[in-house]
Amino acid sequence: VPEHVWRINLDTPEEAQQNLSFGAADRWWEQTDLTKLILASNKLQSLSEDVQLLPALTMLDVHDNQLTSLPSALGQLENLQKLDVSHNKLRSLPEELLQLPRLRSLLVQHNELSQLPEGLGQLLSLEELDVSNNQLTAIPTSFALLVNLVRLNLACNQLKELPADLSAMKSLRQLDCTKNYLETVPPKLATMASLEQLYLRKNKLRSLPELPSCKLLKELHAGENQIEILNAENLKQLSSLCVLELRDNKIKAVPEEITVLQKLERLDLANNDISRLPYTLGNLPQLKFLALEGNPLRTIRRDLLQKGTQELLKYLRSKIQDDGPGPSEEPPVTAMTLPSQSKVNIHAITTLKLLEYSDKQAAEIPEAVFDAVGANPVATVNFSKNQLREIPPRLVELKDSVCDVSLGFNKISSISSELCLLQKLTHLDLRNNILTALPEEMEALKRLHTINLAFNRFKVFPSVLYHLPALENILLSNNQVGSIDPVQLKGLEKLGTLDLQNNDLLQVPPELGNCESLRSLLLEGNPFRTPRAAVLAKGTAAVLEYLRSRIPS
């Protein structure tokens, strides 16, 4: 940082040395002290202790630099209200930070913090605290003192439990604990009377938390856990809920009591083990969005699911009048048993050309599954929701016929060469694994038109994708991709959908606007400054047009 920035309050400006007559606007001697300093998106490796020469600062923004530590002089900025040090390389926060009596917003997400100062609770004015995307394993007990905190983001850390003391945060409206290792939620959290939004996605919860006193709770996001049972009593406590998101769990049944959620607008139950629904679900007055795909539903035809929420609700309502077995009766065990219980389905292989062994939590695919194929051509393979650590080697036996392979929700860390021999492949689903790279040999998959790599660990855009000319859909959300090459993307002339939501893009190259085949470009949840959210909200065509306008002529 140039020296004169720190001295801006002290040094007389140059024009004062010249003998000029000043207009009212130029009276340097009436200049007020600097209150806002933005040094974001530079390459700063340290901040000078001279920051103490700017005591009137109310906002200091140094996000997206290369800072490994902060100066202790920050503790002297007693007027500071907002401090943004996110997207740096900080390993710790100075104790002096705890001396800032007026600090309202502290943003330290995307650093390398393994712990927080024990006395963080001294920041009594704090209203917003974001410590997401660090390496925290515990929360200081002094957090309980932050009684004015409204928003707390703990997402993407390594927390195994939440301290029950959090319940003392009487003002907290939004709590985000996405992507940690939580197995339970402390019962005391139920007393957080102001809580409106609770995010618990991607943890290890086995049941829905009990929240009897959270009368204002409007959104509960608990997808991608291991929830098996929806407890009717727990649902009854959530009378204000507008959004209930439970996708990618292991829920087997939906209780009739779900109808007490009279304000529910969005209900996401996709990719569970639900075999039937209470028809009374059709009576929820506010419901606008109902997701059920990926469940072994018996009573609802697949084509009906694709017609959208309103048609589905109409159908459920029509069935309430029908006499027929009550929806809560246990269905008989038939050939349509839940996917997590069935053996190899020979009928599916011969008639649907489908080889399915999903949701078994299996470390490898049994030989019997491949043996069952015999001479039958298989077009679709679904080995999702297991514990596979590698691509099953015998997949290569299906190379003459298979075109759709789903290996999502496993623990695959690398792609073997066998997969690259499936030259008829058109759809490849590898979401929710631990992939960091794709092999160049995948260039052989010339027919591939959809690849889903969401929720993996890519830090760079896989370069082999630039060499797959048939690609129409690239789904790469929720990774850590930092940049893309717009020139190579333009070479993918059929590319219609590019989903890069929730990555680490610090800028969007204007040349991306030249990819005119794109019909859906999704960029939300990245740390770039432009295009701003208002532009993104206008949709793909507007974003592309905006980007083209920024290309240097």
**Is residue 169 a part of any domain in this protein?**
no
- The whole-number pLDDT of residue 211 equals 84
In a domain, 14, yes or no: no
Task: Please give the pLDDT value at position 341.
Answer: 37
pLDDT in the model for residue 472: 93
Domain CATH code at residue 498: 3.80.10.10
Model confidence at 144: pLDDT above 80: yes
Task: Tell me the three-class secondary structure of 138-194, residue by residue.
Answer: CCCHHHHHCCCCCEEECCCCCCCCCCHHHHHCCCCCEEECCCCCCCCCCHHHHHCCC
Number of domains making up the chain: 1
Residue 450 covered by a domain: yes
Least confident window among 340-344, 399-403, 459-463: 340-344
Mean pLDDT of 327-343: 40
Whether residue 335 has pLDDT greater than 50? no
| Residues 156/158/161/163 CA torsion (nearest 10 deg) | -80
Of the pLDDT bands very low, low, confident and very high (cuts 50, 70, 90), residue 193 is confident
**pLDDT at site 30:** 59
Task: Quote the pLDDT of residue 11.
Answer: 75
User: In this structure, is residue 148 part of a structural domain?
Assistant: no
Confidence of residue 303 (pLDDT cuts 50, 70, 90): confident
Residue 508 lies in a domain: yes
Q: Average pLDDT, whole number, for the chain? A: 89
* Per-residue pLDDT at 190: 79
* Local confidence band at 33 (pLDDT 50, 70, 90 cut-offs): confident
Strands of 27-104, DSSP E: 36-38, 59-61, 82-84
State residue 351's pLDDT score.
81
* 326 domain-assigned: no
Domain that holds residue 545: 346-549
Structure confidence at residue 418 (pLDDT): 82
Q: Which residue has the higher pLDDT, 352 or 434?
A: 434
User: What does the pLDDT average to over 359-372?
Assistant: 90
In a domain, 544, yes or no: yes
Residue 424 placed within a domain: yes
Quote the CA–CA distance of 64 and 59 in Å, as a whole number: 16
Sequence-separated (6 or more) residues with CB below 8 Å from residue 247: 223, 224, 268, 269, 270, 271, 272, 291
